[in-house]
Amino acid sequence: MTQPEIIKKFKEKGYKITPQRRAIIDVLVKSGKPPTAKEVLRKVRVISPEVSLDTVYRNLKLLSEMGYLIQINLRSSERSRFEILKNGEQCHHHLVCIGCGDSVCLRQCVLSEQDLKAIKEKGYEMVGHAYEIYGYCPKCHKKK
């Protein structure tokens, strides 16, 4: 999704658009490789020097809960990466290298219709889920 599309959704849901929030969304949308929270912080601080890591995390959480952001869980949570979903995309998952932290998108969700049905039947409202495949990328595999 683009930054204006996400900002429109925030407004529709009654969230305030602060310059910091705008900058955080901007950094996420423009990042080639999905950034970590600290990388987001570093880039946002160029525009909004007073922004805190807490604010970054709060916004990442909100974007995830609204379904616009995927969290890619590396083995240490500090290094989780965040990727804005494409328009109309519900979810996808990742291959993660435990050597260098590189990640590759798998263009599909692993939840089946049956899983989704079971979640509903159990009375849960799903706000997110995680699924990563850990291993070594070809570069790291060669080094071993």
Is the Cβ of residue 7 or residue 106 nearer to Zn ion in the bound state? 106
- What minimum distance in Å lies between the beta carbon of 77 and Zn ion? 18
Is the Cβ of residue 29 or residue 109 nearer to Zn ion in the bound state? 109
Bridge partners (DSSP) listed for residue 104: 95
- What minimum distance in Å lies between the beta carbon of 144 and Zn ion? 10
Is the Cβ of residue 67 or residue 99 nearer to Zn ion in the bound state? 99
**What residue type is assigned to position 14 of the chain?**
G
CA–CA gap between residue 140 and residue 126 (Å, rounded): 35
DSSP E strands, 1-144: 69-72, 81-84, 93-97, 103-106, 132-135
- What minimum distance in Å lies between the beta carbon of 130 and Zn ion? 8
Is the Cβ of residue 47 or residue 91 nearer to Zn ion in the bound state? 91
- What minimum distance in Å lies between the beta carbon of 85 and Zn ion? 8
Which residues of this protein are in contact with Zn ion, per CB under 5 A? Answer: 83, 91, 97, 99-100, 102, 105, 109, 137, 140
Q: Are 133 and 93 in contact (CB under 8 A)?
A: yes
The pairing of strands 93-97 and 103-106 is antiparallel
